[in-house]
Amino acid sequence: MHIGIIGGGIIGLSSAYYLNRAGHQVTIIDKSDLLDGCSFGNAGMVVPSHIFPLAAPGMIAKGIRWMFNARSPFYVRPRLSGELLKWGWEFYRHANKSHVSKSIPALKELSLYSKACYQNWVNELPFDFGYHERGLLMLFQTRETEHEETEAATIANDYGVEARILSPEEVQQLEPDVKVTVRGGVYFPGDAHLTPQVLVKQLVSHLKAKGVTFVPDTTVTNFYVEGKKIKSIVTSNENFEFDEVILATGSWSGEVASRLKLTLPMQAGKGYSFTLSDVEKNIRIPSIFLEARVAVTPMGNTLRFGGTMEITGVDHRISMNRVKGIVDSIPRYYPDMKVPMPEVKQVWHGLRPCSPDGLPYIGRSQKIKNLIFATGHAMMGLSLGPGTGRIVADLVSGKHPEIKMQPFDPERYS
């Protein structure tokens, strides 16, 4: 079949990889030039440890507290928006223990499935994308965070995700080259990391060589629907007809879905990163500064810092106050690292697609027969990309996916 994928981030590329391998003709349409999407500058973490949805108890209280600090890790820009109000209400409705307990098994299963795909990619793809399984360190400095993270580690172990609670000395033993100042940490040995910009760039080249067609700088403006099927896609350049359509447009998915008269609650969560080059004494294991919500990832001899979650709509302005919050946190955890404030041109930003319940939208539409959703992965897009792509290919080929799909029902808000 001829498959049209709207969106050329890691989800769209992963879907194209598995669809192409299954023998389908694939065309990817993207509004950008495919050179700097949300998959490029992220932290590069593959994290089966992240089994808790964004909508969880305590997040609303933290969010309100953080909102009044210009350098805090979280911010919701107040604005008159019906979509934001509906999204916020659904987030509030799902931020409870019952939702978390239902979500954990689903996120764990999808995460481990996707990690297994990455392990296969190491052997299947003809290029090195810097994949390493060194785990993840969650670092904390306060008694409150220690209590929260110890509790989270206990739950993770109960669900079969190994988590080791470490003393400051044990943390330091894992990082012999860099001084670490913490109250303690939790180590997840099952996590991994990679170099995202290398993966995405090389995957695009690989897919082109395999016959996948790319249509960049092209915006989808409308759809012609007949008999509950998408007959054609209208774009800023030309019209396209496909047997199946995959919606993988990230933060724009709600807007695109509305053109099909479908409800897909989505808010863009803006994040920032910057990367240090030629780091002489680098960390060995990726880490997250829990109080600051900053992710730190070694990529060869470079070191990437990323963080913040700004619910500001589709907005590409860079808040250097938020970036300063990231910079200021570094010497608190790594006291020997003197990192200067980067210039605006050195700061990367991306828009993460956030569903209100913290679960992605993956699955076939019940209202439009030839439409499949693959979006809403928030900060987990890179981590869950290959697994999502393989599920998409199974759905197109009429196979039952290997994981339970009900929690990710894309029309659960319809």
Task: Examine residue 83 and state whether it is found in any structural domain, yes or no.
Answer: yes
Give pLDDT, residue 358. Answer: 93
Cα 296 to Cα 145: distance, rounded to the nearest angstrom: 18
Task: Examine residue 413 and state whether it is found in any structural domain, yes or no.
Answer: no
Give pLDDT, residue 295. Answer: 96
Give pLDDT, residue 36. Answer: 66
Task: Examine residue 414 and state whether it is found in any structural domain, yes or no.
Answer: no
Q: Mean pLDDT over residues 69-95, rounded?
A: 80
Above 90 in pLDDT, residue 71? no
Above 70 in pLDDT, residue 322? yes
Give pLDDT, residue 70. Answer: 62
Task: Examine residue 192 and state whether it is found in any structural domain, yes or no.
Answer: yes
Q: Which domain holds residue 382?
A: 2-408
Task: Examine residue 82 and state whether it is found in any structural domain, yes or no.
Answer: yes
Task: Examine residue 257 and state whether it is found in any structural domain, yes or no.
Answer: yes
With cut-offs at 50, 70 and 90, classify the pLDDT of residue 327.
very high
Above 70 in pLDDT, residue 122? yes
Most confident region among 54-58, 265-269, 392-396 by mean pLDDT: 392-396
pLDDT in tens, 176-197: 999 999 999 999 999 999 999 9
Q: Which residue has the tokens 């209280």?
A: 61
Exposure string over 263-280, b if 16+ CB within 10 A, otherwise e = ebbbbbbbbbbbbbeebe
Task: Examine residue 251 and state whether it is found in any structural domain, yes or no.
Answer: yes
Task: Name the phi and psi angles at 37, rounded to 5.
Answer: -85, -170
Task: Examine residue 380 and state whether it is found in any structural domain, yes or no.
Answer: yes
Give pLDDT, residue 319. Answer: 86
The percentage of the chain sitting over the pLDDT mark of 90, rounded to a whole number, equals 80
Query: H/E element holding 363?
Result: strand 361-364
Above 90 in pLDDT, residue 213? yes
Above 90 in pLDDT, residue 40? no
Give Cα 77 distance to the centre of its chain.
21
With cut-offs at 50, 70 and 90, classify the pLDDT of residue 365.
very high
CATH number of the domain to which 163 belongs: 3.50.50.60
Q: Mean pLDDT over residues 153-175, rounded?
A: 97
Counting the structural domains of the chain, the total is 1
Cα 300 to Cα 1: distance, rounded to the nearest angstrom: 40
Q: Mean pLDDT over residues 216-227, rounded?
A: 94
Average pLDDT taken over every residue of the chain: 93
Above 70 in pLDDT, residue 113? yes
Q: Which two tokens stand for residue 129?
A: 């994308």
